[in-house]
């Protein structure tokens, strides 16, 4: 690979990582894409997808599981759970005690060997709740 191209790729990856951090609240690839384009206008969506995959593989970011068809990305790579707004699709962290896999009753999990527990809660975010309330009173 040409050195110039290599430098460009490194820069793109850095900007993509920065965007995930700055956007906070678990952006999707599309949201990351539009943030990256403000800094590097020639970046393609496929480049963003490719780099997000690399960053996940490198453990620099996490792909949030089980929140629907669209993947949300998380700069917080520590173990934690998520809540998703049913209305606007926004994903936020939930701070509850993680389930201790070793204490799970095997019958309760149909005698499966549990590898991972990821809990996803569905809800309505404060903004959407307020909006719905407003519509009701109109
Ligand atoms: Zn919402
Ligand atoms: Zn998170």
Whether the pLDDT of residue 1 is over 70: the answer is no
Ligand nearest to the CA of 25: 2
Domain of 7 in residue numbering reads as 1-75
Ligand nearest to the CA of 84: 1
Whether the pLDDT of residue 126 is over 70: the answer is yes
| 56 Cα: distance to centroid of ligand 1 (angstroms) | 26
| 105 Cα: distance to centroid of ligand 2 (angstroms) | 27
Verify that 24 and 64 share a domain, yes or no. yes
DSSP-assigned letters across all residues of 58-122: TTSSEEEPSS-SS-EEES--SS-EEEEETTT--EEEE--PPP-GGG--TTTTTTPPP-----EEE
| 34 Cα: distance to centroid of ligand 1 (angstroms) | 20
pLDDT of residue 58: 96
Verify that 4 and 70 share a domain, yes or no. yes
Mean pLDDT of the chain: 90
pLDDT tens for residues 102-111?
Answer: 888 888 889 9
Query: What pTM, to 2 d.p., does this model score?
Result: 0.79
Whether the pLDDT of residue 65 is over 80: the answer is no
Verify that 88 and 103 share a domain, yes or no. yes
């Amino acid at each position: 690979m040409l050195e110039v191209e290599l430098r460009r790729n490194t820069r793109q990856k850095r900007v993509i990582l920065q965007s995930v951090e700055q956007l906070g609240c678990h952006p999707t690839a599309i949201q990351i894409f539009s943030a990256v384009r403000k800094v590097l206008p020639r970046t393609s969506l496929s480049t963003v997808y490719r780099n997000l995959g690399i960053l996940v593989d490198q453990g620099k970011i996490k792909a949030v599981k089980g929140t629907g068809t669209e993947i949300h990305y998380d700069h917080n790579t520590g173990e934690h759970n998520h809540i998703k707004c049913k209305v606007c699709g926004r994903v936020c962290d939930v701070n509850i005690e993680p389930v201790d896999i070793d204490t799970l009753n095997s019958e309760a999990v149909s005698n499966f060997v549990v590898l991972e527990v990821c809990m996803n809660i569905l809800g309505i975010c404060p903004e959407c709740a307020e909006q719905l309330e407003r519509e009701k009173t109109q």
